[in-house]
Amino acid sequence: MGTKIRQGAVLGLLCAAAMLGGGSALAQQTPPPKPATEDPFADLSAKPEAPVVVTPPVRSWFRSLLTENFGFRKEVMSQFTRDENDNLASRQSVGFEILKKFSTGTATVASFNVQGRLVRRDGFNPVQNDMEGAERAGWAFEYHNLYLDFYNVFNPMLGAKQRGRQVGRFNIRAGRFYVPFGLNLQTDTHGTVLQLSNDRNFGFERDWYTGFWGSLNKHLNYDAYYLAGSGYVLAFKGQRGLGAARLSLSNKYSSDYGLEAGVSVLAGERLTMGHEMRRTVDTRRAGIDGRYRRAIPNGLLSLTTEISRGEDARSPVSMQLQQADYLHSSRRWGVATQYRSFRETGSGVDASIIGEFTWYFRNDVGNSNLHWIKFNVERRLQRMQATPPRTVVTLQYYFYR
């Protein structure tokens, strides 16, 4: 009997423990109820916060004109010349260049370029980069580039697919720029002493004109213009003007192979140089040109040629220019030499050979930051005029940024 009581007591204790353990687990799994006074939506915002809208500052059209796609560069030049008869001349100038591009959200539609100098001259020696200086003694303001480019002008008449195919093919230029004959169109000689052949060939290196330019395909570019034929001053004094066309290799040949080349034709009437007694001259020219750049030990060698033939007032003329340049790999110094001649049947020959040394303080590849000193010596081998050949020495300081 005692044994049964003890067994019953043990069984009762075990059942009580089991019941107590289950209650504890159930108590752990079931969270206590929230007080009746707690708001179930207390952690939600009453209303969403309004988004912050940033309003861009409103710019005036004048401020936009001078800040968006706008470039302004400064130029300083100091030049001294001396010939073998000890004739001294000085040209000092400060200048500027403005480039403005006009764009939409997807493309550039036009650009404007103007370039000028305020110049002071004392004395005059005829050097290549100052052929017009004899007429501008003392103070003078000179303009050089002054033109507008309009890009892809036929786009409004084309569909989307056609526009993609015609990108870069039809652009219009109007204003004053390099004569579209020879390498001058792709070579900026604004600051240099050595010049290409157009100044002597036509009496001016820049003229007023309008026409089309662009790419024919991936290999060829074209230029086709009507020129006033008046040179520095836009004037019509009986001349019909000039028509000019040029085919040249595309930029890929310059970047991939160091090669530039083209053929040019020009015909019509132009005015001779000078403001006094200017006369009309029937002019015909056809020319070929090329430039080849090649890396050589410690530097870069460039070879340039321009050859043209034609007529001035039915008198046969020919022009040639040969030039070699070496630029050290440091881009700190370079040397150049040039031979040039212009022959006119019945009048004779103008011919010169030139040597030049340049020390660069700055000389970036894009020609947007230039700073140098040049020493140039020209020996005139033959002259059409009745003056003896002579030597002209030029020292030039130039800054452009």
Asked if residue 247 belongs to a domain, the reply is yes
pTM for the full model?
0.82
Side chain identity, residue 267 = A
Asked if residue 50 belongs to a domain, the reply is no
Q: Quote the domain boundaries for residue 313.
A: 61-400
SS3 184: helix
Asked if residue 360 belongs to a domain, the reply is yes
Cβ atoms 256, 215 nearer than 8 A? no
* pLDDT above 60: residue 224: yes
Among the residue ranges 158-162, 268-272, 280-284, 291-295, the one predicted with the least confidence is 158-162
What are the pLDDT digits (tens) for 278-332?
Answer: 899 999 999 999 999 999 999 999 999 999 999 999 999 999 999 999 999 999 9
- CATH number of residue 99's parent domain: 2.40.160.10
Report the phi/psi class of residue 288: left, alpha or beta, with left for phi > 0 and alpha for psi in -120 to 50: beta
Query: Structural domain tally of the chain?
Result: 1
Asked if residue 23 belongs to a domain, the reply is no
What are the pLDDT digits (tens) for 31-81?
Answer: 555 555 566 655 655 566 667 766 666 667 667 777 788 999 999 999 999
* pLDDT above 80: residue 397: yes
Output the pLDDT for position 162. Answer: 84
* pLDDT above 90: residue 5: no
Residues 6+ apart with CB under 8 A from 333: 327, 357, 358, 359, 360
Residues 6+ apart with CB under 8 A from 223: 180, 185, 211, 212, 213, 244, 245, 246, 248
- % of the chain beyond a pLDDT of 90: 71
* pLDDT above 60: residue 116: yes
Asked if residue 374 belongs to a domain, the reply is yes
Average pLDDT over residues 246-265: 97
Confidence of residue 161 (pLDDT cuts 50, 70, 90): confident
Asked if residue 357 belongs to a domain, the reply is yes
